[in-house]
Structure 1
Amino acid sequence: MFLEQFISYIKYEKRYSLHTVAAYESDLAQFYTFLNHPEVVIHHPSEVTHHHIRNWMVELMNADITGRSINRKIATLRKYFKFLLQGQHITATPTARVQTPKASKQLPVVVDEEKLSRLLDNNDIFSEDFAGVRDKLIIELLFGTGMRLAELLGIIDADIDTYEGTVKVLGKRNKQRIIPLNKELKQLLLKYSTLKKNEIFANNSLKLIVTNKGADAYPKMVYLIVQKYLNYISTQNKKSPHVLRHTFATSLLNKGADLNAIKDLLGHASLSATQVYTHNSVERLKSIYKQAHPKAN
């Protein structure tokens, strides 16, 4: 009952994205599965103690779950028990005495910008039919704007302004922002729009990105499209929409863009989230120094 109330709260009152809601549901389901262990009998959230949470953390660590993932799961519990506390279902939150593990800082994974540009310029890779142009548009939008997957899936046709050369996206915490479009993206959007209007779909979605049948595009579809085309240029394991977002930000930084401007384009709430890209930039400078300076070695 409490889980359903909480999920309804973050979905309808807080208006979290579907991706975020799914992550919260998954984390809480994992925690309650742990609590349903024969040796642990919990009938009410008020019976959960910090010992239960710590024991769960140990189990996660033994399963080689990363510190970053564990921190996210504990953050979910903090939000959940805070909700129960505010609703007076519990008198104290068990997360207050829980310390999370230090998460190692991971550098954002990117793809080679030049190879990606050549891929997008290769007319033999993307077909000229609706599906081919849509696939190319997905890659171009993710790389050309740095938007998140959920933001891409949320765009409707009316959010595109080809005259002004902008796209309106709804980011985290329902914050709206305007992202500029480059010339090639504007032309591709016009081409896609024409093909889309000429298609006879079984469904008629208002969303910009749709399936071959005209229904709303979904996360797995976009993942598979991104992986398919990044396989042409990269052998790295991680080939996701977020890799293209990282590549967008790193590319801007390497070309001298202001960090605050990148923050605004990405829709970050704080500059600290954007500063992770400076590490990639520093590593690039080190590499150039080692190759070019006579005293480097």
Structure 2
Amino acid sequence: MKEAIDNFLTYLRVEKGFSENTIAAYRNDLNQLTSFIKEEAARRGSIPPWSSFDRQAMLNYLLDLRQRNYAATTVARKVAASRSFFSFMVAEGIIKTNPIEEVHSPKIGRSLPKPISISKVRLLLEQPEKLSAPEAKRDRAMLELLYASGMRVSELVSLNVADVDLAGGFVRCLGKGGKERVIPIHEGAVLAVKEYIDKNRPRLTHNDEQALFLNRRGDRLTRQGLWQILKGYVKSANLEDKVTPHTLRHSFATHMLSGGADLRSVQELLGHANIATTQVYTHLTSEHIRRTYEKSHPRAK
């Protein structure tokens, strides 16, 4: 069983160009499916081959997930991972048919992104200025760059120093599927990154590490490290909103559209393959317009 999963993950990495984070999610979901099959098999005394896994077995697995109170979104993701895995095995000739082709994912409503207001973004970005440690200048540069570019957190922590062109005012990053895009950044973000690179990054580096953002050991900062840093600043800013690193990406998109940017340009900046993914932000700007209208129009009061 493990060999089949490893071959599938290699296919996702090499042929589909999926990121390591996506592959890790697939691995976790498929390992959980394997554990369930082994637990069921233990009652019968033998572990069956993948070829014997059928629709009823998948329905039993879904029932087990529901009994464990998994959210509908999580169950839907696990079904999608399993469907892709079995489709791969059909293509490889390991099994004849996909046993879960007719198994439907739970219906889930599309949740809207939750941005924060421009004033709250400004307050959050001001927090590192209150500290004098070298890490504070790094943090200011990170937060400024996140909001200026709308990058995903994984894209930000993957940046090398050479990926930022301060003179040209742009950053080059690799998005999902290894697709490169060039994003312009405003002067304020350029100055914050320049100050960090020139004055503070040398105090953090201890080797030839090429990563733009470093931790205290001089190694590349991780997504988890950035998350912990952000939580500290959210707390010091007394923001009651639930703010995650992705919140600044949502806020970037919403504020750009509210400011008059066209949808296609925002799609390119965010690196969305499908414009429908970007369109979700138009719902937020429409709601803002509706609230403004109801507050301002004399007949709407």
How far is the alpha carbon of 1:176 from its aligned partner? Answer: 0.5
How far is the alpha carbon of 1:154 from its aligned partner? Answer: 1.4
The partner residue of 1:130 within 116, 131, 134 is: 134
CA distance, structure 2, for counterparts of residue 262 and residue 59 of structure 1: 41
Q: Unaligned 5+ residue runs, structure 2? A: none
In the alignment, is residue 46 of structure 1 matched against residue 51 of structure 2?
Answer: yes
Work out the percentage of aligned pairs sharing the same amino acid. 31
TM-score (norm: length of structure 1): 0.92
User: 1:27-70 deviations in whole A, cap 9, x for unaligned?
Assistant: 11221222222357642111111222223223333444333322
**What letter is aligned with 1:19?**
N
**What letter is aligned with 1:34?**
F
What CA RMSD, in Å, does the superposition of the two structures yield over aligned residues?
Answer: 2.0
The partner residue of 1:250 within 250, 254, 259 is: 254
CA distance, structure 1, for counterparts of residue 280 and residue 83 of structure 2: 25
CA distance, structure 2, for counterparts of residue 255 and residue 200 of structure 1: 37
CA distance, structure 2, for counterparts of residue 61 and residue 286 of structure 1: 38
The partner residue of 2:148 within 144, 147, 157 is: 144
How far is the alpha carbon of 1:85 from its aligned partner? Answer: 1.6
The partner residue of 1:219 within 218, 223, 228 is: 223
- CA 1:59–1:113 in 2, change beyond 3 Å: closer, same or farther? farther
Is the Cα contact below 8 Å between 1:263 and 1:271 reproduced in 2? Answer: yes
**What letter is aligned with 2:160?**
I
Equivalent residue for 2:13?
Answer: 11
Instruction: Between 192-201 and 84-93, report the one with greater CA deviation.
Output: 192-201
CA distance, structure 1, for counterparts of residue 196 and residue 28 of structure 2: 36
Matches of residues 16-165 of structure 1 in structure 2 within 5 Å? 16-38=18-40, 39=43, 42-121=47-126, 124-125=129-130, 127-165=131-169
Is the Cα contact below 8 Å between 1:133 and 1:192 reproduced in 2? Answer: yes
CA distance, structure 1, for counterparts of residue 30 and residue 228 of structure 2: 27
**What letter is aligned with 2:159?**
I
Equivalent residue for 1:281?
Answer: 285
Q: Unaligned 5+ residue runs, structure 1? A: none
Is the Cα contact below 8 Å between 1:116 and 1:233 reproduced in 2? Answer: no
Instruction: Between 244-253 and 2-11, report the one with greater CA deviation.
Output: 2-11
Is the Cα contact below 8 Å between 1:205 and 1:216 reproduced in 2? Answer: yes
How far is the alpha carbon of 1:222 from its aligned partner? Answer: 0.9
